[in-house]
Structure 1
Amino acid sequence: MTTKSNRINAVEHKNLQTERLVSLDALRGVDMFWIIGGEHIIHALAELTGWPVMNWLSAQMHHTIWNGCTFYDMIFPLFLFISGVSMPFSFGKKVAAAGVENAYELPSKVKNQIYKSMARRALILIFLGLVVNGLFKFNGLENTRFASVLGRIGIAWFFAGMIYLNCSLVKQIQWFLVILISYWLAMAYIPVPGFGAGDLSMEGSLESCIDRLLLPGRLHSKVHDPEGILSTIPAIATGLLGIFTGTFVKKKNYEPLKSVYLMLLTALGLMLIGLVWDMIFPINKRLWSSSFVLFAGGWSVAFFALFYLVIDVLGFEKWTFPFILIGTNSIVIYMAVEGIVNFQYTANFIFGGLINLASDPFSDLLKAVSVVLVELVFLYVLFKNKLFLKI
């Protein structure tokens, strides 16, 4: 028992000395894996086997139409949560260099430098989101979608970071609660012309109304945009939840295994509160409802706790390499699969003959796997040459 405990402490000490959690890159990679082709592999396996468990997993690889939550709905909030977890570590050197204990105690001169860097990152992500949406197709501003996944990540991460840099942990938690409760009250009690107050449908919600009034260009769903203006505010709380988790791990106030247990208990509590709140404010990814923040946030904490346990505490890292490739260049591969690079064409060029020899539905599985393999080779070349998109 003592030997195991010493090994756990030694591995955790080694990983945390670098101020970078391997589990974060791996979890980010696993999260992105489903977007870059993992979902198609699951669909193909379900078609090939017909097993009930695979059919269930295949159903989980679709977004919920409106209320409710599938695994696929949790990919986006998990990515934003991970960006929050990394913040206490990324600012760690500046905190240590300034001789202070907390980020909010940093001198104004240092904070101003960080603000500029954060604003730059947010603006670049907003711009990249526009590029993914087809900015350079020049179809006219009225046909351009301005809201985007990358834009929301940039904005929510920026404001969560501003709160982190200027507030103690207690005040950060207060901000978290105020954001979630205020958003719920606004959605429940501010009337929408033609629909009244408390209408949480796609057409009648306050979030959709504000998007139609204030968001330029086209909306994702004509009357509503899932990355709209008002619903970006509770996304800040998702980032804060990640910051709380990163701060907790970085402080190392508990033994590694106890930290994992506490995170799992917290995850369960968040999920239960989210399910209770769902009764009056439905869990809804498109509205990024307060109950969704808590429910998806609970799962995010649980996923991170398990990855942290297996990778950073117990030291089982070798299996993570393919996901590290994805996680360390997540923005690059996201933009690539969203239309900039045609991996399907390359996969067909290399594996097309083999795929044609197979019969349906086995050929569909080969197609899905071949695309992921090509993407991993692309990422490996970038990784090997130390080419990373750092924003």
Structure 2
Amino acid sequence: MDAYRGFVMFLMTAELLSFHRLHEAFPDSSFWAFLAHHQDHVEWAGCSLHDLIQPSFSFLVGVALPYSIASRQLKGQSFNVQFGHALRRSLILILLGIFLRSTHREQTNFTFEDTLTQIGLGYPFLFLLGHARPKIQWGAFAAILAGYWLMFILYPAPGADFVYSAVGVPADWQEHYTGLMAHFNKNSNLAWAFDTWFLNLFPRPKPFLYNGGGYATLSFIPTLGTMLLGLQAGNWLRGGFDNQALLKRFVLAGVAGLVLGTLCHLLGICPVVKRIWTPAWVLFSGGWCFLLLAFFYWVIDVRKKRRWAFPLVVIGMNSIAIYCLVHLIDGFIMNSFYIHFGHAPFRIFGEAYEQLLVGSLTLAVFWVLLWWMYRRKLFIRI
């Protein structure tokens, strides 16, 4: 789990390498085009490697929960004490997410669509379901997906006279859907309508009209579905299965998720869209999460190939620390390199590679900080 989590957090911090700049400098290079594509989110429907960061992080929260519950039960903690901790953790995650999104702004930026706030909003429900039987957990998962889909379908789809330009979407945008899937169009769906009410309850420099990326507060509901998939994986890990049986479950669950999510999209039932965390996205991204977990489990726990994963483990064991560091001091570190060394050393391979080099050195600084914390057993937990 730590290696998988470290891989996810590395993908997040690797944004500092700015592959898109190299793609812009070398537009004919398929190599840089490929890396740039997978270091960015798709516009609406579909998936890149970068799009799997948030679902993987959410999935792993679910995987870890059975271990956390078992550990606290061994310490003799009552259910009420454990639930109190879950509520505190939820509140801290929400406030931390808002704090990080408010840096470099003139006032608090009340927004609830980022990774930490989304997990925080759903975590108390995950905790309660973590104490339920597997049948109830699966039932809750199905109810979340079906209920969320139905909520969107019942909300009126945008009509022919809907002014998309007023919500930051080109009228001729190629990602517009018709028919049933039109209920999931960008900034014209139920989640967008909810946020135009909910987010304006908080003090803002100007009224909230839309999110430029189409992200939404209500996504925490299907994100809970992603965490429930992780909860099942955690239950299986603690279930006493042998390696082959466990790998088979992970792979079958992964393939099933990919197939079901893709079919929902192709049949026009529900698009695979991360930005509003559609039910089809829960299935599709959950499939990838199971397959990634299967890969790390097979290599590290079955094949016992662990040395290569040490750099990832160092990152994964302090995921909250690296999440905060990247959001708070990445610019400070890069500016410090320029202050003390100037731009010339980072242009040794040409100006196009400057951001790649300074970003790589910044990543190295972050890793050394985490390694120092790892050596001294300093782990930030919430």
TM range (shorter): 0.7 to 0.9
| Structure 2 residue 363 is matched with structure 1 residue 372 | yes
Q: Which residue of 2 aligns with 1:241?
A: 229
CA distance, structure 1, for counterparts of residue 193 and residue 19 of structure 2: 36
**Percent identity between the two aligned chains:** 30
Q: CA deviation at 1:203?
A: 2.4
| Structure 2 residue 112 is matched with structure 1 residue 121 | no
Task: Provide closer, same or farther for how the CA distance between residues 44 and 385 of structure 1 changes in structure 2, counting only shifts above 3 A.
Answer: farther
Match of 2:58 among 80, 91, 103: 80
Paired letter, 1:153: I
CA distance, structure 1, for counterparts of residue 337 and residue 12 of structure 2: 17
Task: Provide closer, same or farther for how the CA distance between residues 49 and 209 of structure 1 changes in structure 2, counting only shifts above 3 A.
Answer: closer
Q: Which residue of 2 aligns with 1:296?
A: 285
Q: Give the conservation status (yes or no) of the 8 Å contact 1:234–1:289.
A: yes
Q: Which residue of 1 aligns with 2:43?
A: 65
Q: Give the conservation status (yes or no) of the 8 Å contact 1:42–1:58.
A: yes
CA distance, structure 1, for counterparts of residue 65 and residue 100 of structure 2: 25
Match of 2:247 among 247, 260, 276: 260
Report the secondary structure of 1:91's partner residue.
Answer: helix
Q: Give the conservation status (yes or no) of the 8 Å contact 1:41–1:369.
A: no
Paired letter, 1:344: M
Matches within 5 A, 1:218-367: 222-224=209-211, 228-253=216-241, 255-278=242-265, 279-341=268-330, 342-348=332-338, 354-367=345-358
Q: CA deviation at 1:41?
A: 6.2
Q: Give the conservation status (yes or no) of the 8 Å contact 1:202–1:223.
A: no
Paired letter, 1:159: F
Task: Provide closer, same or farther for how the CA distance between residues 343 and 111 of structure 1 changes in structure 2, counting only shifts above 3 A.
Answer: same
CA distances 1:153-202 after superposition (whole Å, capped 9, x unpaired): 2222332121112x210010000000000100110123379769953222
Q: Give the conservation status (yes or no) of the 8 Å contact 1:152–1:227.
A: no
Q: Which TM-score applies when normalising by structure 1? A: 0.82
Task: Provide closer, same or farther for how the CA distance between residues 39 and 241 of structure 1 changes in structure 2, counting only shifts above 3 A.
Answer: farther
Q: Give the conservation status (yes or no) of the 8 Å contact 2:158–2:183.
A: no
CA distance, structure 2, for counterparts of residue 220 and residue 176 of structure 1: 35
CA distance, structure 1, for counterparts of residue 339 and residue 310 of structure 2: 26
Show structure 2 runs of 5+ residues with no match. 163-178
Q: Which TM-score applies when normalising by structure 2? A: 0.84
CA distance, structure 2, for counterparts of residue 333 and residue 290 of structure 1: 30
Q: CA deviation at 1:313?
A: 2.0
CA distance, structure 2, for counterparts of residue 329 and residue 344 of structure 1: 22
Aligned length, in residue pairs: 354
Q: CA deviation at 1:44?
A: 6.6
Q: Which residue of 2 aligns with 1:162?
A: 128
Task: Provide closer, same or farther for how the CA distance between residues 360 and 136 of structure 1 changes in structure 2, counting only shifts above 3 A.
Answer: closer
CA distance, structure 1, for counterparts of residue 207 and residue 103 of structure 2: 15
Q: Give the conservation status (yes or no) of the 8 Å contact 1:39–1:58.
A: no
Task: Provide closer, same or farther for how the CA distance between residues 315 and 31 of structure 1 changes in structure 2, counting only shifts above 3 A.
Answer: same
CA distance, structure 2, for counterparts of residue 349 and residue 380 of structure 1: 25
Q: Which residue of 2 aligns with 1:31?
A: 8
Task: Provide closer, same or farther for how the CA distance between residues 44 and 307 of structure 1 changes in structure 2, counting only shifts above 3 A.
Answer: farther
CA distance, structure 2, for counterparts of residue 44 and residue 207 of structure 1: 33
Task: Provide closer, same or farther for how the CA distance between residues 39 and 354 of structure 1 changes in structure 2, counting only shifts above 3 A.
Answer: closer
CA distance, structure 2, for counterparts of residue 44 and residue 373 of structure 1: 20
Task: Provide closer, same or farther for how the CA distance between residues 322 and 222 of structure 1 changes in structure 2, counting only shifts above 3 A.
Answer: farther
Q: Give the conservation status (yes or no) of the 8 Å contact 1:39–1:61.
A: no
CA distance, structure 1, for counterparts of residue 325 and residue 148 of structure 2: 34
CA distance, structure 2, for counterparts of residue 390 and residue 223 of structure 1: 34
CA distances 1:33-74 after superposition (whole Å, capped 9, x unpaired): 111125626557766796524422321211122222222111
Q: Which residue of 2 aligns with 1:187?
A: 152
CA distances 1:265-306 after superposition (whole Å, capped 9, x unpaired): 210111000001113210111110000000000000000010
| Structure 2 residue 183 is matched with structure 1 residue 199 | yes
CA distance, structure 1, for counterparts of residue 321 and residue 218 of structure 2: 27
CA distances 1:77-129 after superposition (whole Å, capped 9, x unpaired): 1100011111111222344567xxxxxxxxxx711111011111111111111
Q: Give the conservation status (yes or no) of the 8 Å contact 1:145–1:220.
A: no
Q: Give the conservation status (yes or no) of the 8 Å contact 1:126–1:148.
A: no
CA distances 1:326-345 after superposition (whole Å, capped 9, x unpaired): 11111111122113452312
Report the secondary structure of 1:386's partner residue.
Answer: coil
Task: Provide closer, same or farther for how the CA distance between residues 258 and 41 of structure 1 changes in structure 2, counting only shifts above 3 A.
Answer: farther
CA distance, structure 1, for counterparts of residue 259 and residue 305 of structure 2: 31
Q: Which residue of 1 aligns with 2:378?
A: 387
Q: Give the conservation status (yes or no) of the 8 Å contact 1:347–1:374.
A: no
CA root-mean-square deviation: 2.8
CA distance, structure 2, for counterparts of residue 272 and residue 82 of structure 1: 22
Q: Which residue of 2 aligns with 1:7?
A: none
